[in-house]
Amino acid sequence: MLAVFYLTYSLVLFSVISILYTFMLWGKRYSVKFSMKRIWKLGIEEMNRLINGDSIDRMHFAIVVGLLLSIAFALLGPVLPYIWPLLYLMLALSVPVIFGLLPALAWRLQLLRKSEGLNRKLGGSDKMIAGSKKLQVVLIVVISFTIAQLVVEWFSGFDWLANILDATKNMFIAIYYAKPSINLIKNFDRPVSKVKAPFELKKIQSGEVDASQVKMGVDKVNEFGGEVLASCDSCVEIGACEAACPATATGRILSPRVLVRKVSVLKEESQDTNPFSVISDDEVWSCTTCGACVYSCPVGVDHLGVIYSLRRTMVEKNRLDQKKSSLLMNLMQSGNSMGMSNYGRNSWIKEEFGISEAREGRPFEYLLWVGCMASFDDRSRESVRSLLKILKSAGMIDRFAFLGEEETCCGDPARRLGEEGTFQNYALTNIEIFKKYNVKKLVVLCAHGYNSFSNDYPAIDPYAGEIKVYHESQLIEELLNRGKIKLKKTDEDVVVHDPCYLARYNGVVEPQRMVISSIANLKEPKLHGERTFCCGAGGANYWYDVPEEKRISHERLDQLSATGAKVTVTLCPFCNAMLNDASNVKTNGSMKVIDISQLVEEHLEGS
């Protein structure tokens, strides 16, 4: 038996060397430099996912730990019997790992059963469906072998069997999971908010770049670019993106998993093929760009990079229905997404609160960016009114200014729809206005504006990165901490809805909770904070419709209502509008939906 053990042990060594070789091979191809610092950062990220994540994250963590533990058992096999404290420690650790792997295996089997129907519904080719099954079966085998090996390790005399299980599993890892692992190491800290622009408008305007040479979208698979294609090739059908996607959950014609697999399979067949030969328009428009797919993917796939490229193609070729065309027309002609005249924009702010417009020359510390929705929608305007009343109560109203007719759109709807030129034009214009008035602090009520000013604008002009951008919740938290305002506490139950562009894109989750907890009993829906569920307005979806079995806003309202709270607090006028409409339809308005500034204003001491 000793000879059998060392023969199988040699197989283990060969399989581990194979893993290391394929890792180095793909690392070189993807220009990934391995360092202990980066591996350590990835380890911290994985621990954060375990602590703060959902059941899928915990299953993924169990798989990773199980794989590492099983390899350690095999490699240390010849010496473990002589280091019994380490042996017992590893055996003890294997117990919770096995119990973590069992639900992971059950979930994989369930996904395998369901996936073929969804693949066919979304127009997957026979090759794509066969490849999908293969990848899912491989993962099931890897998990099964890992469980079996960890169980066998408890029994003496079966080391050879454990070695065979480990060597077989390791070869699957070398063949199928080296590339995804390298993609993760390279991209695990890539912000969800990152958008790769196809051109720089200011270089075109200055003549540095010939506009005729600019390629907006993609007519061929290879035009996605190496980074996006490598990302698509890294998909191994884990399905975390699909489980997190609001479009998939509500029966829209979209699965982020299927989308990137279509691109990957198509690339294997011919890089000159038009991606729209396998991807429908409804798939592309069904995305709300909430980023849940990218955020939840355990191997760092960038699904949004595919979506944006396809949308730019459709805009470039004018494959737009009337509602999408109207949005772009509004942005180009009216200076805002609502299609309203900018004449006298927000003049009521000066009339009611005495705040000066920036152009009047009075010194100011903060510039209030009202936003399109709050400028022209009466319901959203009440949020601005409440915020101004809070500022007045805090004695800060004279430190503010607003732009009036000079304020236009931040450009977010254009970029998310796929009209990059219009977005960049707005960004450059607004940045010049900020420079003209020497803006250093900017206060916004809209999560989309917050993300644009915080992430998109600095990529266009470094000056924008010097501006301190406050979301209203952050400013209110600051006022509360400094004792500028005091709030009355109630026994009311309140649930908060986190906007995707505030929480997931920018990690702003604590200020609103601190403020709301100072007023009421905070209730949390299952999906909250950075793992929030979309309201359905993102990705310019507010302005158009796609086929769906259930409205995303209705699904989100059901999740919020399940907490038992009768008041939902929002932090974005678009979320407010979507959830208010859902409440009126589903609950006849019994679920009260208000902005955080409105909740605070209602509970100001002395009001």
Report residue 46's pLDDT band, with 50, 70 and 90 as the boundaries: confident
Lowest mean pLDDT among 70-79, 249-258, 525-534, 576-585: 70-79
Neighbours of 125 (CB within 10 A): 16
Same domain for 596 and 491, yes or no, is yes
Residue type, 81: P
Structure tokens at 273: 């093929």
What's the rounded Cα separation, in Å, for the pair 60 and 177? 14
489-to-343, 479, 497, 519 alpha-carbon distances in Å:
41, 17, 20, 4
Structural domain includes residue 607:
no
Mean pLDDT of 21-48: 89
Structure tokens at 294: 């990218």
Q: What is the DSSP secondary structure assignment for residue 467, as one 8-state letter?
A: S
If one compares 182 and 216, the residue with the highest pLDDT of the two is: 182
pLDDT at residue 52 in the model = 80
User: Does 1 score more than 70 pLDDT?
Assistant: no
Same domain for 73 and 152, yes or no, is yes
User: Does 2 score more than 90 pLDDT?
Assistant: no
pLDDT at residue 557 in the model = 98
pLDDT digits (tens, 9 = 90+) for 516-525: 999 999 999 9
pLDDT at residue 537 in the model = 97
What's the rounded Cα separation, in Å, for the pair 261 and 256? 9
Q: Beta partners for 262?
A: none
Residue ending a domain, among 471, 502, 529, is 471
C-alpha 411, offset from chain centre: 19
pLDDT at residue 34 in the model = 82
Rg (CA), the chain: 27
Residue type, 109: L
Let me know: does 347 contact 376? Beta carbons within 8 Å.
Answer: no
pLDDT digits (tens, 9 = 90+) for 288-308: 999 999 999 999 999 999 999
Structural domain includes residue 162:
yes
Let me know: does 412 contact 308? Beta carbons within 8 Å.
Answer: no
pLDDT at residue 289 in the model = 98
Mean pLDDT of 464-478: 98
What's the rounded Cα separation, in Å, for the pair 582 and 588? 9
What's the rounded Cα separation, in Å, for the pair 136 and 145? 14
Polymer length in residues for the chain: 607
Residue ending a domain, among 471, 503, 534, is 471
Structural domain includes residue 25:
yes
Same domain for 52 and 145, yes or no, is yes
User: DSSP characters for 320-346?
Assistant: --HHHHHHHHHHHHTSSTT----TTTT
Same domain for 344 and 273, yes or no, is no
What's the rounded Cα separation, in Å, for the pair 78 and 375? 72
pLDDT digits (tens, 9 = 90+) for 373-422: 999 999 999 999 999 999 999 999 999 999 999 999 999 999 999 999 99
pLDDT digits (tens, 9 = 90+) for 312-323: 999 999 999 999
Let me know: does 309 contact 228? Beta carbons within 8 Å.
Answer: yes
pLDDT at residue 216 in the model = 85
Report residue 358's pLDDT band, with 50, 70 and 90 as the boundaries: very high
Phi, psi of 274 (to 5 degrees): -75, 125
pLDDT digits (tens, 9 = 90+) for 186-220: 999 999 999 999 999 999 998 899 888 888 889 99
Same domain for 370 and 284, yes or no, is no
Q: Using CB atoms within 10 A of its CB, is residue 129 exposed (0-12), middle (13-18) or buried (19+)? A: middle
Let me know: does 465 contact 471? Beta carbons within 8 Å.
Answer: no
Structural domain includes residue 38:
yes
What's the rounded Cα separation, in Å, for the pair 599 and 312? 39
Q: Beta partners for 368?
A: 402, 443
Q: Beta partners for 493?
A: 521
Helix (H) or strand (E) holding 495: strand 493-496
Residue ending a domain, among 451, 471, 491, is 471
pLDDT at residue 214 in the model = 86
Mean pLDDT of 349-372: 96
Q: Using CB atoms within 10 A of its CB, is residue 44 exposed (0-12), middle (13-18) or buried (19+)? A: exposed
Same domain for 515 and 395, yes or no, is no
If one compares 157 and 575, the residue with the highest pLDDT of the two is: 575
Report residue 57's pLDDT band, with 50, 70 and 90 as the boundaries: confident
pLDDT digits (tens, 9 = 90+) for 412-456: 999 999 999 999 999 999 999 999 999 999 999 999 999 999 999
Let me know: does 277 contact 266? Beta carbons within 8 Å.
Answer: yes
Q: How many Cα atoms within 13 Å fall on the side-chain side of residue 456?
A: 27
CATH number of the structural domain spanning residue 422: 3.40.50
What's the rounded Cα separation, in Å, for the pair 487 and 122? 51
369-to-1, 404, 505 alpha-carbon distances in Å:
76, 9, 20
Structural domain includes residue 321:
no
Same domain for 12 and 118, yes or no, is yes
Report residue 274's pLDDT band, with 50, 70 and 90 as the boundaries: very high
CATH number of the structural domain spanning residue 292: 1.10.1060.10
Structural domain includes residue 340:
yes
Report residue 48's pLDDT band, with 50, 70 and 90 as the boundaries: confident
Strands 592-595 and 468-471 turn out to be unpaired
Same domain for 413 and 365, yes or no, is yes
Same domain for 139 and 50, yes or no, is yes
pLDDT at residue 156 in the model = 85
What's the rounded Cα separation, in Å, for the pair 494 and 569? 7
Q: How many Cα atoms within 13 Å fall on the side-chain side of residue 429?
A: 14
Residues of the domain holding 567: 480-602
Site of tokens 């678009």: 574
Structural domain includes residue 462:
yes
Structure tokens at 413: 């709807």
Residue type, 27: G
User: DSSP characters for 172-233?
Assistant: HHHHHTHHHHHHHHHHTT--TT----S--HHHHHHTSS-GGG---S-SSGGGG-HHHHHHHH
Mean pLDDT of 88-115: 94
Lowest mean pLDDT among 56-60, 226-230, 338-342: 56-60
CATH number of the structural domain spanning residue 594: 3.40.50.10700
Mean pLDDT of 11-16: 95
What's the rounded Cα separation, in Å, for the pair 275 and 137? 27
Lowest mean pLDDT among 202-211, 332-341, 590-599: 202-211
For the chain, percent of residues with pLDDT exceeding 90? 87
Q: How many Cα atoms within 13 Å fall on the side-chain side of residue 307?
A: 27
Report residue 578's pLDDT band, with 50, 70 and 90 as the boundaries: very high
pLDDT at residue 182 in the model = 94
User: Does 132 score more than 90 pLDDT?
Assistant: yes
Let me know: does 162 contact 145? Beta carbons within 8 Å.
Answer: no
User: Does 172 score more than 90 pLDDT?
Assistant: yes
Same domain for 179 and 61, yes or no, is yes
Three-state SS for 120-167 is HHCCCCHHHHHHHHHHHHHHHHHHHHHHHHHHHCCCCCCHHHHHHHHH
The domain tally of the chain equals 4
What's the rounded Cα separation, in Å, for the pair 565 and 594? 13
Q: Beta partners for 487?
A: 604
Mean pLDDT of 543-551: 96
Mean pLDDT of 521-537: 97
Calculate the average pLDDT of the chain.
94
Distant-in-sequence, close-in-space partners of 361: CB < 8 Å, separation ≥ 6: none
What's the rounded Cα separation, in Å, for the pair 196 and 236? 24
pLDDT at residue 357 in the model = 96
Q: In what order do the strands lie in the sheet with 441-444?
A: 356-357, 400-402, 366-369, 441-444, 468-471
Helix axis angle for 55-75 and 159-176, nearest 10°, is 120
Structure tokens at 446: 């809209």
Let me know: does 523 contact 493? Beta carbons within 8 Å.
Answer: yes
Mean pLDDT of 270-299: 95
Structural domain includes residue 196:
no
Distant-in-sequence, close-in-space partners of 206: CB < 8 Å, separation ≥ 6: none
Residue type, 461: D
Same domain for 50 and 146, yes or no, is yes
Same domain for 147 and 251, yes or no, is no
